[in-house]
Amino acid sequence: MTVTTRPRVIEVQPAIRRGYSTAWWGMVCMIATEGMIFAILIASYFFLRATNKQWPPPGVEVPNLTLVIPFSLVLWGSSIPVFRAEHAIRRGDQRGLRIGLLVGSLMGLAFVAYTIKDFQDLHFGWRDHAYGSIFYITVGLHATHVVIGLLMSLIVQIKAWQGKFSAERHVTVEVFSLYWHFVDAVWLFVFPVFFLSPHIR
C-alpha cells in the first residue's frame, strides 16, 4: 500500500550569514584531539620529572638555548605569512596568497632542518634514560606535525598556483592555515617545557 497523502511543504528561509565549513569544524575536532596528545605528553614529562631525583639525569646537560630560540622565533613567525596569505585570498589576491604560503613553508622547512641538526648534535639518545625518551618523542612528534603541515602546504600551494582559489572559495586555505597555527601554538607549550623548564631547579 502506498501513502497517497502528500506531505505538507514548509518553506525554509536560508541562513543570513554563513558559518564555518564542515572541513573547518573537522579540523577543529582534529586539533582538539591532537592538542590532548601534546597535553598528555607534557603532563607525562612533569610526572617523570617528579619521580626522578635528578632532572635532567646525571651526565645530561640542560638544553642549550643558542639555536633553539632563534629557530623557535622562525617557527612562530611563520604564522604571519600564512595569516597574510589567508587574508590575501579573502580579497581575491592570488599573488599575496602564493607568496604568503611559500614564505610560510620555507620558514617551516628551516625549523625542521634545525630539529634534524639538533637531534644529531644532542649528547644523549632516546634509549639512555626516560628524560631522553620523552624529549625525543615529544619534540620529534611536534616536528612530524610540522612535516605534515609542509605536505599539506605543498598541496595547497600547487592548487594556489593553478588558481583554484577565489575570494569566495578557499576552504582549503582556511583549514590549512588553522592547522599551521595549531602546530605553532603547540610549540608555545613544548618549547618552554622541554627547553626552558630544565633550567629551573
Among residues 103, 100, 94, the alpha carbon closest in space to that of 163 is found at: 94
Least Cβ distance, residue 148 to another protein (angstroms)? 9
- Positions in the binding site for another protein (CB under 8 A): 3, 5-19, 21-23, 25-26, 29-30, 32-34, 36-37, 40-41, 44, 47-48, 51-52, 57, 126-134, 136-137, 151-152, 154-155, 159, 164-165, 169-172
CA distance 143 to 132: 16
Q: Which three cell numbers stand for residue 130?
A: 626516560
Confirm if 40 and 122 have CB atoms less than 8 A apart: no
Q: Find the shortest distance in angstroms from Cβ 152 to another protein.
A: 7
Smallest separation, CB 20 to another protein (Å): 9
**Given the complex with another protein, which of 72 and 150 has the nearer CB atom?**
150
Q: Enter the C-alpha cell of residue 32.
A: 582538539
Closest distance of CB 93 from another protein, Å: 16
Query: Contact at 8 Å (CB) between 185 and 80?
Result: no
Q: Which three three-digit cell numbers place residue 132?
A: 631522553
User: Which residue type, as a one-letter code, is found at position 150?
Assistant: L
